Structure 1
């Protein structure tokens, strides 16, 4: 049976989805911490589907021009065999998604759930925060996303597969890998956000499949409210992150991860 959500729970959980989907700060860490603080039950499948729709809509709408150019040139290149920078970028998004999909099938839900321990999440939140900060310091920061090679894509793609480990942060690990191979922070974030589209879509479709197989009643106001809040918050995050990230760097997000990990250790040790 789907839980009855109040508006505080709807707002907080939708904001968490909207903010943590794209900021490199670990969504799973927040999803462990917040219910513990408020003593909330699981929000249910319907709400998960709704907030995924919200974040997916935000990233697609923000990158609508890029997606159109990539789709147009990718389709054209299949016929003309003449690649462009946009068609190559489309191929790179496809190829970089494959490792995460493959690992997702290999590592079944049971193994992933066994890793969803608060102390494991705390350790990965802190550990991958160190990597994020290190990549920001050591990265050359001279390349854009159109300069990526197949080798670069495989590095980012296999890094994204690590996000199946709770506490890693999909955006955090892909941005880390992109910085390590020399991308600017803005280019690393742009590619990470484009790469999120098939991943969010796939996760949403899997949850939708489970929802359609469920006979539980749906709280439609929670779904609509959650989708809207996650959409607005995610769109604002994408816009502001891309605007400021070259100036502020990754240190604030790494420090936040350290604090979040420490709080999880304090609460659950």
Structure 2
């Protein structure tokens, strides 16, 4: 092979690698027996994107996150990570934060984050020793400072507010240096003021650690505020006699930013339909 051909091949391979999506889904379907949850889901996500997922309860948003995590598998289609099938188990390259706080009540804030680092190293107990523990302790303290818990290292979870517990859960996930961070309605139980602080925190961590984020939310305004793209999950086909005969797909894939009010209202109506009895009197006249 000539040098010029080798050079062109090398350049071509670099370009190909540069555009390979971090997540690629083709005709993804998911069902449990006769109940179809997802169907015909096609997605392509580049590294560094921040995707928010909205949709009615039970439409498969969390199921899709679990498929990326590796604890659920597609019934149909193909879901790829860096062009290869996603492993059927969680990995350190994918971290997740749930609405319910996944912290250890018998450990301090600092010990919780150190333990997350220990589990990453395949320690059954999460305990580290010697030099590894010293390094992990320093990394944990730095991470807790980043999420605003530097003052609470020696507190126990029962001594924390809801927002502080969620900051702790995020620190546990991010300290493992995942490429992909999965957030499953992480702020649903928080007051509006605290949620605003959490939004700022997640956006800061997204930029600082160059994460690719998928976040499920039930709040359309939150979905349009955060990240780069918003996916709306909904069913394209309905059978009133068999509500689980068809699954949800992504009906909208929109860039985050200014959204025309009619389109916003249309999506909002899909997510939480307003019955005639709930409409304002002025709109019924």
Give the greater-gyration-radius structure (CA).
2
> Normalized per residue, which structure has more strand?
2
TM-score by length of 2: 0.27
TM-score by length of 1: 0.28
Q: Relative contact order (alpha carbons < 8 A, sep ≥ 6): 1 or 2 greater?
A: 1
